[in-house]
């Protein structure tokens, strides 16, 4: 299955089983009744359609003013107000290589100008800043990604197809997804721990908000799955969002330091290419160069070695190597199996940082 960041195809990799399979509760509780024994009884009253609709509307009124439309020369996307100083977080593939943008807020009558603070394509995140902060600009509240559960009702807010301040509804379908870009566009990122949702994600939604019913942003919608059997068109009900914890980590560093100082992403410290066997099937990753002092260098890997396994994960392509590293962390030890001169060898590697 493929996944697309609005304009580029992306591939869904293996799902990491880090999900909690508890469905969101659609109940409301009545006031507690005190009994003579001192015990507390709690009556559970089902939530009505009207109650749920009112909750949707409250969340939309609360969060939509924090979701903006971003217009670059050749790209249209969305963004989320990060703080009251005018910082806006979005996707790196929305900003591309541009430095200035036109931003439309839910309440603005005319576009506002903004400039790029920093783009981090490795995680497909970027921060831009309004040149002039309008009165009443409202920062979004970011939730705790660890508390996101399968079955929770979520709303996707953004500017799909240029329709600003649009809202779609769905559930959290899965968590812990690792998604990788396939050749042909986008930033080339491999992103771990993404939130999968059934809320419709369309061109222009990238960089917007995936919101729970508490009014918290739990992710930044980034990718829509594409079905090869449908000619690469979007597969309904399969979209992916960068988790809020990752957004806060990367955006927070950009706001404080003007760049990313701690990626939290594991690296071997090599450049590499995919190699094929005599049947032209991917058969491993050849080491093209080794960064002096990096993890691979310290472990004794050399140009010309062909990596076939990291830990217990078979490695056949550069993408599968990126996915294996995305699932790990800097400083951890793992084994790397490789071929050198027709001989298979295994070494222990302490992973570095990207």
Alpha carbons 159 and 170: distance in angstroms, whole number? 17
What does DSSP assign to residue 65? G
Long-range pairs of 17-22 with CB within 8 A, sequence gap ≥ 24: 17/176, 18/175, 18/176, 18/193, 19/149, 19/150, 19/174, 19/175, 19/176, 20/149, 20/150, 20/175, 21/149, 21/150, 21/151, 22/149, 22/150, 22/151
Local confidence band at 327 (pLDDT 50, 70, 90 cut-offs): confident
User: Mean pLDDT over residues 20-31, rounded?
Assistant: 31
Catalytic residue, candidates 173, 198, 206, 320: 206
Q: Does residue 39 register a pLDDT over 90?
A: no
**How high is the pLDDT of residue 230?**
61
Q: Does residue 142 register a pLDDT over 80?
A: yes
Output the domain CATH number for residue 340: 2.30.42.10
Catalytic residue, candidates 2, 119, 124, 316: 124
Query: Which residues, 6 or more positions from 111, have their beta carbon under 8 angstroms from its beta carbon?
Result: 71, 102, 103, 104
Tell me, yes or no, whether 108 lies in a domain: no
**How high is the pLDDT of residue 190?**
85
206 part of the active site: yes
Tell me, yes or no, whether 288 lies in a domain: yes
pLDDT digits (tens, 9 = 90+) for 76-120: 999 999 999 999 999 999 999 999 999 999 877 789 999 999 999
124 part of the active site: yes
Q: Which two tokens stand for residue 193?
A: 């721990």
4 part of the active site: no
**How high is the pLDDT of residue 178?**
85
pLDDT digits (tens, 9 = 90+) for 258-274: 999 887 888 999 999 99
The percent of residues in the chain predicted with pLDDT above 90, rounded, is: 58
Tell me, yes or no, whether 23 lies in a domain: no
pLDDT digits (tens, 9 = 90+) for 266-299: 899 999 999 988 888 888 999 999 999 999 999 9
In the chain, the number of structural domains is: 1
The percent of residues in the chain predicted with pLDDT above 70, rounded, is: 82
As a whole number, the mean pLDDT across the chain is 84
CB atoms within 10 A of CB 29: 10
**How high is the pLDDT of residue 317?**
87
Of 139-148, 236-245, 287-296, 317-326, the poorest mean pLDDT is in 317-326
Tell me, yes or no, whether 279 lies in a domain: yes
Tell me, yes or no, whether 321 lies in a domain: yes
Of 43-47, 65-69, 134-138, the poorest mean pLDDT is in 43-47
Range of the domain at 276: 266-353
Catalytic residue, candidates 2, 87, 93, 320: 93
Tell me, yes or no, whether 121 lies in a domain: no
Tell me, yes or no, whether 300 lies in a domain: yes
């Amino acid at each position: 299955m493929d996944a697309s960041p609005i304009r580029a195809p992306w591939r869904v990799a293996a799902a990491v089983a880090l999900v909690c399979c508890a469905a969101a509760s659609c109940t409301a509780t009545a006031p507690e009744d005190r009994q003579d024994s001192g015990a507390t009884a709690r009556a559970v009253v089902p939530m009505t359609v009207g109650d749920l609709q009112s909750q949707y509307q409250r969340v939309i009124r609360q969060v939509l003013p924090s979701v903006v439309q971003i217009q670059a020369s050749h790209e249209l996307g969305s963004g989320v107000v990060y703080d009251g100083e005018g910082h806006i977080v979005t996707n790196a593939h929305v900003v591309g290589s541009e430095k200035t943008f036109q931003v439309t807020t839910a309440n603005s009558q005319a576009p506002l100008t903004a400039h790029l603070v920093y783009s981090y394509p490795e995680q497909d995140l970027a921060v831009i800043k309004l040149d002039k902060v309008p009165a009443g600009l409202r920062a979004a509240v970011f939730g705790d990604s660890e508390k996101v559960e399968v079955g929770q009702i979520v709303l996707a807010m953004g500017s799909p197809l240029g329709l600003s301040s649009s809202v779609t509804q769905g559930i959290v379908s899965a968590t812990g997804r690792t998604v990788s870009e396939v050749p042909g566009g986008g930033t080339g990122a491999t992103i771990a721990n993404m939130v999968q949702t059934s809320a419709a994600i369309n061109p222009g939604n990238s960089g917007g908000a995936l919101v729970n019913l508490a009014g918290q942003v739990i992710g930044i919608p980034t990718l829509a799955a594409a079905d090869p059997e449908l000619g690469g068109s979007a597969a309904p009900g399969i979209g992916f969002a960068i988790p809020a914890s990752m957004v806060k980590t990367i955006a927070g560093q950009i706001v404080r330091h003007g760049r990313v100082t701690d990626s939290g992403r594991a690296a071997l410290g090599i450049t590499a290419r995919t190699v094929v066997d005599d049947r032209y099937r991917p058969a491993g990753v050849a080491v093209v160069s080794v960064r002096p002092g990096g993890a691979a260098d310290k472990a004794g890997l050399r140009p010309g070695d062909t990596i076939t396994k990291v830990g217990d994960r078979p490695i056949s392509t550069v993408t599968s190597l990126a996915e294996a590293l995305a699932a790990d962390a800097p400083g951890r030890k793992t084994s790397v199996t490789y071929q050198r001169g027709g001989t298979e060898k295994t070494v222990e590697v302490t992973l570095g940082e990207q």
